Amino acid sequence: MAGKVLVADEDAGVQRLLQQLLRDEGYEVVVATDGLDAFRIWEREAPAVVIVDATLAGLNGHDLAERIRAAEAPGVRVPIIVLTLAGDVAEKVRALRAGADDYLVKPFHPAELLARLQSLTSRFSPGDALVGRSAMGRIHAYYGAKGGVGTTTIALNTGIALAKLGRRVCVVDANLQFGDHRVFMDLPMDRKGIADAVNAPTIDAELLRSLVQPHETGIDMLLAPRSPEAADLVTANHLYQVLTALAGVYDYVIVDIDKRLDDLNLMVLEISSQIFLVLTADLPSLKNARLVLETIGRLGYDQAKVRLVLNRANAHTGIGPKSAEKALRRPIDHQVTNDYRDAIAALNTGAPVMGDRADSALGKSIVQFAKVIDNLGSRMANRPQLGSGR
């Protein structure tokens, strides 16, 4: 027996289809037609998987997912798939934010449901090297107020510092056109990356496992396409699927994005539980940081998830952290020290600061930063109030 699946859907046709399909695969199926009923069945029967319709009466699919997550014992997490009618990113984000692990747009092909189910149950099965305990699933975006402020340096090295703290970390190079993680980490051009995910029938943890590059520093890396032309192949929807699947298996998914505020980057900002806005103390960077903060406010994102990171904080630019705070009308949350010698030496040798130079001023500053952020915030799914203004 493959386990028990709770199907919560009012539609008799969907119930019949799922019952037949899942029974043929060896699952036991229990059906609920009302959300409150579904919650009681979950409490009583502890199914291995929950499949719930987003528009269910009583408690809708999102409410049910939220209620189950709130009631689960620590370390326990039943995979939840939400069935939705709308296939747009906002609807999918809603499902995941409520605590679901995956969504399917109705009408769906039975083979797709089975593939998702299989991917979820293998992702959640004990004994899996990546799973062991349930992942913290925090998606963190690193966004530079302007080019060259040190976003990639901070994103990669913070990832390594978090891995050294015992976290499972995947760093994603979502600077799709000009991503340079291969250069920073001395990885050959033939290594696979995010572009290899776009032609796959489903983007799931299994596929991503074959694409991420484990690095000796302890992080896994999902690399940018090899050429700028290939960047166009990766859509916001692809990247969304990649990031949410990674969040199911890693404690931290660190996403290095470029500074365009296009659909793709806005999606990343939307689903991230923290946005680290990296800036330096110079006028263009401060001007852009203000514009970004204003834009984020206008889009209805929770300003509290934006954290300002002043890089090269003690450089002699004539503008100190205090003046930067005044110009931005909000406090700087983190400061990273100026250490050009170690930063550039790391870059030119392809050995990251947190690898060979962890004892340098920059290394120590990054470790301190990583410790602070490790104590911050929760995974996206547990913060349903985020972005509720949208």
Ligand X SMILES: Nc1ncnc2c1ncn2[C@@H]1O[C@H](COP(=O)(O)OP(=O)(O)OP(=O)(O)O)[C@@H](O)[C@H]1O
Instruction: Please state the closest distance from residue 177 (CB atom) to ligand X, in A.
Output: 10
Closer Cβ to ligand X, 196 or 256, answer by number: 256
The item of ligand X, Mg ion, none sharing an interface with residue 119, based on CB under 5 to 8 Å by kind, is none
Q: Does residue 311 interact with Mg ion by CB under 5 A?
A: no
Closer Cβ to Mg ion, 52 or 279, answer by number: 279
* Phi/psi at 143 (5° precision): -130, 125
Count of CB atoms within 10 A of residue 161's CB?
Answer: 28
Q: How far is CA 238 from CA 100, 204, 275, in A?
A: 18, 11, 20
Instruction: Please state the closest distance from residue 385 (CB atom) to ligand X, in A.
Output: 31
Site string for Mg ion, 124-163 (x = CB under 5 A): ---------------------------xx-----------
Which stretches of the chain bind ligand X, using CB under 6 A?
144, 147-153, 175, 311-312, 336, 338-340, 343-344, 347, 362
Instruction: Please state the closest distance from residue 378 (CB atom) to ligand X, in A.
Output: 27
58 torsion bin: left (phi>0), alpha (psi -120 to 50), beta (else): left
Q: Does residue 273 interact with Mg ion by CB under 5 A?
A: no
Integer Cα distance of 289 and 330 in angstroms = 11
The item of Mg ion, ligand X, none sharing an interface with residue 131, based on CB under 5 to 8 Å by kind, is none
CA 82 to chain centre: 18
Instruction: Please state the closest distance from residue 260 (CB atom) to Mg ion, in A.
Output: 13
The item of ligand X, Mg ion, none sharing an interface with residue 347, based on CB under 5 to 8 Å by kind, is ligand X
Instruction: Please state the closest distance from residue 185 (CB atom) to Mg ion, in A.
Output: 13
CB within 8 Å of 31: residues ≥ 6 apart: 6, 7, 8, 9, 15, 19
Integer Cα distance of 262 and 203 in angstroms = 22
Closer Cβ to Mg ion, 143 or 252, answer by number: 143
* Phi/psi at 34 (5° precision): -145, 145
Integer Cα distance of 82 and 50 in angstroms = 8
Closer Cβ to Mg ion, 15 or 151, answer by number: 151
Contact 211, 202 (CB under 8 A): no
Instruction: Please state the closest distance from residue 184 (CB atom) to Mg ion, in A.
Output: 8
Closer Cβ to Mg ion, 151 or 337, answer by number: 151
Contact 327, 286 (CB under 8 A): yes
The item of ligand X, Mg ion, none sharing an interface with residue 179, based on CB under 5 to 8 Å by kind, is none
Integer Cα distance of 160 and 358 in angstroms = 10
The item of Mg ion, ligand X, none sharing an interface with residue 336, based on CB under 5 to 8 Å by kind, is ligand X
Closer Cβ to ligand X, 263 or 340, answer by number: 340
Residue 309: beta bridge partners? Answer: 278, 334
The item of ligand X, Mg ion, none sharing an interface with residue 312, based on CB under 5 to 8 Å by kind, is ligand X
What is the identity of the amino acid at 278?
V
Residues at the contact surface with Mg ion, assessed by CB under 5 A: 151-152
